[in-house]
A and B are shown apart, each in its own frame.
Chain A
Amino acid sequence: MALLEITNLTQRFGGLLAVNDLSVHLEGRELCALIGPNGAGKTTVFNLVSGFYQPSDGSIKIGGVDTRGMKPHQVTALGVARTFQNIRLWNDMTVLDNIKVSQHYRLGYSLMDSLMRTRRYIDREAAIDRTAMELLEFLGMRELANEFPPNLAYGTQRKVEIARALSIKPKLLLLDEPAAGLPSSDVVELIKLIEWIHKEFDLAIWMIEHQMTVVMSLCQWIKVIDFGATIAEGTPEDIRNNPVVIRAYLGDENI
């Protein structure tokens, strides 16, 4: 079964056609990109997939489940995690708490359990804590567990946000401009990190990115959109030489 099946997705905001008849098919385990000029509707696509907007038309199926009418937290529970263009960590919570709270959909205990401190609560909290620490350990961020996000460097905050998304145990990880605002030395590290995550975790990664070094060195498959509609898709080689893409990015040379 396909991991992600987007069929004829369309999104209108008033008179604006933000996404126009878009179709995407991901089997799972891919590492691919969504690119396009500013304002092309890339983030809108991610917002639709993560359930933040309801599509005007078309359907999104995740693991065969139609997500129409679902709230974002329900979509996330299906195994879709994402990061944000502008980092949205919970700044008054420690890194560890950020990662623990993101496991909300599989807490496995109720309000009453938390008030009565039942055996189930104690066991589950211990498990959540362990999972979170293991994840941090695995990503080499163990010593950051008790830091607050605003005290961390920008690049580290990005990394924490990715860790938080991974704590969902996603099947599909959406990265919204992971390299935005990073100095070039950090970008190299980010490329390594994403590659490593893709290798170590059983998931598909779909990213929006403007830095072509990141996209071209990582992705097997690239979809290019402009004005909400697909203008090209294919391997990095295809895209690099596609005249339509070049025109969308650089404008028409005849002007």
Chain B
Amino acid sequence: MSPRLTTPAALFALLLGLMALTQTGILGQYEQTILSTMGIYMILAASLNLVNGYMGEFSVGHAGFMAVGAYTSSVVGVYLFVPDPFFGQPLLPMDLAYLAFPLILAAGFVAAALVGLLVAIPSFKTRGDYLAVITLAAGYIVKSALENIDVVGGPRGFMGMKKVVMGMEEMISIPWMLIWIFIGVVFTVWILRRFVYSTYGKGVMAIHQDEVAAEIMSVNTNKMKLVAFMLSSGLAGLAGGLYAYLIGFVNPASFTILRSTECLVMVYLGGMGSLTGSILAAAIFTLMLEFLKPLEQLKWVAIPMLLIVLMQFRPEGLMGNRELSDIFPKLKRFYRFK
């Protein structure tokens, strides 16, 4: 098989395998939820890695962008397909839901990317820890704005997304959310990989390593920052949209600083500038959350302690800045980098 097709074929087989496992009941509802959560964390970690790992800035407000995506996707979906006391009768029949879902997610992506400007524009002048505070403040601003918008329920939150998912499942009975999240993860990794492996995207790494040299060697640093921040926040918005439809409910309290902290932990646990690392870290982190659930509150003592110990042994993250193909060079035969 030509190397061009190996990866898509493998991914398609993986998706088919997943679906077979769910249909036969080997993967129950519980396992599906864990896998879905893992997928959302993968998107969050990989997208944050673009800014924090590849570009070397310290963004602390990723949950804010996720929130924008979650709310936008929710509102658009409910507006289109679900009768709502505020938005009135649905515009489209529910039968179309599974076709329109990518558009719903795209709306979340675009909205979050636009809110990313809130951070991207100050980043032209502000750097380092000062920029970190801007991202932190932006996260608070988003959360606090959502608390004050009554249309989306204020602090109580917004729901109705479950009906859309149920509508999709009535049309064709497959685990829709798992599939969408799978596609979302593939899409995220695909976009980010193409971006960071292009000479264009490497401008972002040049900014990380020496911004002055980057600007003087003809990299339009402002534009690169804009692209990186918007891409990263847009993908966080995508994760938010998927999260909203997975849980079926969004409220501002889901997008606190703790959520941003989780994203940060996964990026640095995986390694700055390693997509493989982010994916791996997201998987490990989700499993940790799940396996330590019996500890209840002590879980949040045990997990940070484990992470601290881990960092003592690997102070550059699990993967450093290497990718899977650097560790197993033979893999390069199967997929192309250019």
Is any CB of A less than 8 Å from a CB of B in the complex? yes
A residues neighboring B (CB under 8 Å)? 50-52, 71-73, 76-77, 81-82, 84, 88-93, 97, 100-105, 107, 109, 111, 114-115, 117, 121-122, 125, 128, 164-165, 168
Distance A88 CA – B216 CA, assembled complex (angstroms): 11
Interface contact B213-A88, CB-CB below 8 Å:
yes
B130: interface (CB < 8 Å): no
Interface contact B217-A109, CB-CB below 8 Å:
no
B220: interface (CB < 8 Å): yes
Among the listed B201, B213, B218, which residue makes an inter-chain contact with A103, where contact means beta carbons less than 8 Å apart? B218
Among the listed B198, B209, B217, B220, which residue makes an inter-chain contact with A164, where contact means beta carbons less than 8 Å apart? B217
Known: A101-B206, A101-B219. 8 other contacts (CB 8 A): A71-B215, A91-B209, A92-B208, A97-B202, A101-B217, A104-B200, A114-B200, A125-B199
Interface contact B199-A104, CB-CB below 8 Å:
yes
Say which size band chain B's interface belongs to. Answer: 20 to 34
Interface centre among A90, A97, A107, A125 (most CB of B within 10 A): A90
- Given A90-B205, A91-B209, A101-B199, A168 and B217 touching (CB < 8 A)? yes
Interface contact B210-A73, CB-CB below 8 Å:
no
Chain B, range 174-222, C-beta contacts under 8 Å to A? 191, 194-195, 198-203, 205-206, 208-210, 212-222
B residues neighboring A (CB under 8 Å)? 191, 194-195, 198-203, 205-206, 208-210, 212-222, 227, 273, 321, 338
Query: What's the minimum C-beta distance from A26 to chain B, rounded to whole angstroms?
Result: 19
- Given A76-B218, A93-B206, A101-B203, A121 and B198 touching (CB < 8 A)? yes
In the complex, chain A residues whose CB is within 8 Å of the CB of B222 = 71
Question: Which residue in chain A gives the minimum CB-CB distance to B338?
Answer: A125
Among the listed B195, B209, B218, B221, which residue makes an inter-chain contact with A102, where contact means beta carbons less than 8 Å apart? B218
In the complex, chain B residues whose CB is within 8 Å of the CB of A81 = 217
- Given A92-B209, A114-B195, A104 and B217 touching (CB < 8 A)? yes
In the complex, chain B residues whose CB is within 8 Å of the CB of A104 = 199-200, 203, 217-220
In the complex, chain B residues whose CB is within 8 Å of the CB of A97 = 199, 202
Distance A209 CA – B203 CA, assembled complex (angstroms): 30
Distance A51 CA – B216 CA, assembled complex (angstroms): 8
In the complex, chain B residues whose CB is within 8 Å of the CB of A52 = 212, 215-216
- Given A89-B213, A125-B338, A168 and B218 touching (CB < 8 A)? yes
Query: What's the minimum C-beta distance from A117 to chain B, rounded to whole angstroms?
Result: 7
Distance A202 CA – B263 CA, assembled complex (angstroms): 51
Interface contact B200-A109, CB-CB below 8 Å:
yes
Distance A73 CA – B202 CA, assembled complex (angstroms): 16
Interface contact A114-B216, CB-CB below 8 Å:
no
> Can you offer 18 A-B residue contacts whose CB atoms are under 8 A?
A72-B215, A72-B216, A73-B219, A73-B220, A82-B216, A84-B213, A91-B209, A92-B205, A92-B321, A93-B202, A93-B205, A97-B199, A100-B202, A101-B202, A107-B200, A117-B194, A125-B199, A165-B217
Distance A51 CA – B220 CA, assembled complex (angstroms): 13
Distance A114 CA – B195 CA, assembled complex (angstroms): 6
In the complex, chain B residues whose CB is within 8 Å of the CB of A91 = 209
Distance A90 CA – B56 CA, assembled complex (angstroms): 13
In the complex, chain A residues whose CB is within 8 Å of the CB of B195 = 111, 114-115
Interface centre among B214, B218, B227, B321 (most CB of A within 10 A): B218
Query: What's the minimum C-beta distance from B58 to chain A, rounded to whole angstroms?
Result: 18
Interface contact B194-A114, CB-CB below 8 Å:
yes
Query: What's the minimum C-beta distance from A131 to chain B, rounded to whole angstroms?
Result: 11
Interface contact A90-B209, CB-CB below 8 Å:
yes
Distance A73 CA – B200 CA, assembled complex (angstroms): 14
Interface contact B217-A111, CB-CB below 8 Å:
no
Distance A100 CA – B200 CA, assembled complex (angstroms): 9
Query: What's the minimum C-beta distance from B79 to chain A, rounded to whole angstroms?
Result: 29
In the complex, chain A residues whose CB is within 8 Å of the CB of B214 = 90, 101
Interface contact A73-B209, CB-CB below 8 Å:
no
Interface contact A105-B321, CB-CB below 8 Å:
no
Query: What's the minimum C-beta distance from B23 to chain A, rounded to whole angstroms?
Result: 34
Query: What's the minimum C-beta distance from A50 to chain B, rounded to whole angstroms?
Result: 6
Question: Which residue in chain B gives the minimum CB-CB distance to A111?
Answer: B227
Question: Which residue in chain A gives the minimum CB-CB distance to B56?
Answer: A92
Distance A100 CA – B218 CA, assembled complex (angstroms): 11
Interface contact A73-B215, CB-CB below 8 Å:
yes
Question: Which residue in chain B gives the minimum CB-CB distance to A50?
Answer: B216
- Given A72-B215, A76-B216, A115 and B205 touching (CB < 8 A)? no
Distance A101 CA – B206 CA, assembled complex (angstroms): 8
In the complex, chain B residues whose CB is within 8 Å of the CB of A84 = 213
